[in-house]
Amino acid sequence: MRWLLYAFGRSLPPEYREWVLHDVTARTWVLRHLLRSVVQLLPIAVLLYVLIPGPAWVRGCAVLAGLLLGFFYSIALLYETTEHRAVKAGYRRGTAAALRNQGGSAEREEQARRYAERWRTLPPGDV
């Protein structure tokens, strides 16, 4: 029940502070955010599908369009939302982003090297 309230934006008790930070910085933090979005959008989608008059395909298309728009905004506000959750748990703004960026720096350096190697070199004859 606490997780459900947390998914809808309610703060957790202070003893769950570390769990909230883990939730917004774990390797699967994006999937966790999307799962919370599904939990938020699904009841509204079901209610709208039941209450909108008309043929089933029209209701389905309307609800699907609403869900797509909801997921679009959820993804657009992904970083701000997770950062806000960490701030509500008592962490300073930027803590979650710093922890997410801290891990995997060697992998990012390798990606940057490959990118520079492929795209930042001059083609033959343009020296």
Query: Which is higher by pLDDT, 120 or 89?
Result: 89
Does position 106 have pLDDT exceeding 80, yes or no? no
CA distance 77 to 10: 17
The percent helix, strand, coil of the chain (3-state, each to 5) is 75, 0, 25
Does position 2 have pLDDT exceeding 80, yes or no? yes
Look at residues 39, 27, 33 and name the one whose alpha carbon lies nearest to residue 78: 33
Exposure string over 73-91, b if 16+ CB within 10 A, otherwise e = ebeeeeeebbbebbeebeb
CA distance 107 to 22: 21
**C-alpha distances out from residue 127 to 60, 113, 119, 120, 124, Å:** 58, 21, 15, 13, 7
- Mean pLDDT, to the nearest integer, of 18-33? 90
Q: In this predicted structure, what is the pLDDT of residue 12?
A: 85
pLDDT category of residue 10 using cuts at 50, 70 and 90: confident
Look over the chain and give the mean of its residue pLDDT values, rounded to a whole number: 88
Q: In this predicted structure, what is the pLDDT of residue 124?
A: 67
pLDDT category of residue 103 using cuts at 50, 70 and 90: low
